[in-house]
Amino acid sequence: MTDDRPYSPGLEGVVAAETGLGYVDGEQGRLLYRGYRIGDLVEHGTYPAVANLLWTGDWDAGHRMATGELPEGVLKTLRALPATAKPMDALRTAVSAWGATQELAWPPTAEQARALTAFSPSALAAFARIRAGQEPIAPDPSLNLVEGFLYQLKGTRPDAGTARALDAYFVVGAEHGLNASTFTARVITSTRSDLASAVAGAIGALKGPLHGGAPSEVVEQIHQVGSVERAEQWVNETLDKGERLMGFGHRVYRAYDPRAAALRKVAESMEHPPEWLALATAVEDVALKVLAERHPERALKTNVEFYAAPVLMGVGLTPDLFPATFALARHAGWTAHVIEQAADNRLIRPDARYIGPAERDLPS
């Protein structure tokens, strides 16, 4: 039963797919969607344009997409959930219920991807209102997707700056290579299962704290720091306790996360940023200095979560909606990977090395 084939825990370093969608260059701090730099896409594009680019390969900066209608069965399902359900659980359930109302033929198409990506913001907004004892709001087809999501969540149309800031967050969250949830979506697709099943599975993978990130923890830590004068002492005490600084370090990026750079600009140009944004930038400077001193061997730089926090707070989302909002943004990437996987499909079926007991007889 010896098996000398190489085993890579966590599949680290194993190339398990070819993709033309996202390029994550950890050394140089570059992120490209179909070759275009993330900073340029944030500056000149919108989430619907970026989603369309990922699905079709075509760049149309003016591409628009409204949020979608909720089938009656989905609304009933959302109303049946306890108000205490986590928004990620509600979103995963909604996607699954939506799949049950559709005829999702194989192979998955850009039209299917568009329909699901438009549906999910309406579903999350509806759940947030239902749990607060409010009625869901129907989509307004005149609003672009992110603006429409905020309108259905809050009941008022967001100002242009607020909509723009959340749209930028959606653009940077849209795609990030073969991360765990995207891999999950590709594995499910490789069995010729449907797009809704792939995305429901991906949401399940993203729900785990090792993947979904926690910009809300950044908010907590900035509040703990309290003031610029206390920043250095707080950073040192936190590291001395063996705790991690939220919003720093990354498995792939050794350079400054290009998504953090793009969101920092967005946060700083917001009309109503949270009042602690200036404190956060001061904490960032101190944290980068101290991390460089303590880890000269390992470049630990700011990651996307650090500036996602002020953007999400600044647009008025409550921290418990942050992970599900990230999932909405990642719909574009997941569904683009589903289409890409289906177009050149091979069932994903790796091997396991058997380390159990040798062949033996049942006890008599």
Ligand X SMILES: CC(C)(COP(=O)(O)OP(=O)(O)OC[C@H]1O[C@@H](n2cnc3c(N)ncnc32)[C@H](O)[C@@H]1OP(=O)(O)O)[C@@H](O)C(=O)NCCC(=O)NCCS
> What are the catalytic residues?
250, 305
Closer CB to ligand X, 223 or 244, in the complex = 244
Closer CB to ligand X, 63 or 259, in the complex = 259
Kindly tell me the burial class for residue 299, based on how many C-beta atoms sit within 10 Å of its own C-beta (0-12, 13-18, 19 or more). middle
User: Which residue number is nearest to ligand X in terms of Cβ?
Assistant: 249
Give the long-range contacts of residues 141-146, CB within 8 A, separation 24 or more. Answer: 141/66, 142/66, 143/66, 143/67, 144/46, 144/47, 144/48, 144/64, 144/65, 144/66, 145/47, 145/48, 145/65, 145/66, 145/67, 145/117, 145/118, 145/121, 145/170, 146/46, 146/47, 146/121, 146/170
Q: In angstroms, give the least distance from the CB of 150 to ligand X.
A: 24
> 33 has which bridge partners?
22, 36
Q: In angstroms, give the least distance from the CB of 222 to ligand X.
A: 13
The residues binding ligand X (CB under 6 A) are 213, 239, 244-251, 295, 298, 300, 303-305
Closer CB to ligand X, 76 or 251, in the complex = 251
Q: In angstroms, give the least distance from the CB of 278 to ligand X.
A: 21
Tokens 């709001």 label which residue? 137
Rounded CA separation 173/334 (Å): 11
Rounded CA separation 63/312 (Å): 24
Rounded CA separation 167/213 (Å): 19
CA dihedral (45, 46, 49, 51) positive or negative: positive
Q: In angstroms, give the least distance from the CB of 224 to ligand X.
A: 14
Q: In angstroms, give the least distance from the CB of 26 to ligand X.
A: 10
Closer CB to ligand X, 196 or 308, in the complex = 308
Closer CB to ligand X, 94 or 309, in the complex = 309
Q: How far is CA 216 from CA 72, 100, 149, 173, 321, in A?
A: 33, 33, 20, 16, 10
Closer CB to ligand X, 119 or 169, in the complex = 169
Q: In angstroms, give the least distance from the CB of 23 to ligand X.
A: 17
- 237 within 8 A of 285, measured Cβ to Cβ: no
Q: In angstroms, give the least distance from the CB of 240 to ligand X.
A: 11
Closer CB to ligand X, 194 or 305, in the complex = 305
Amino acid at 78: L
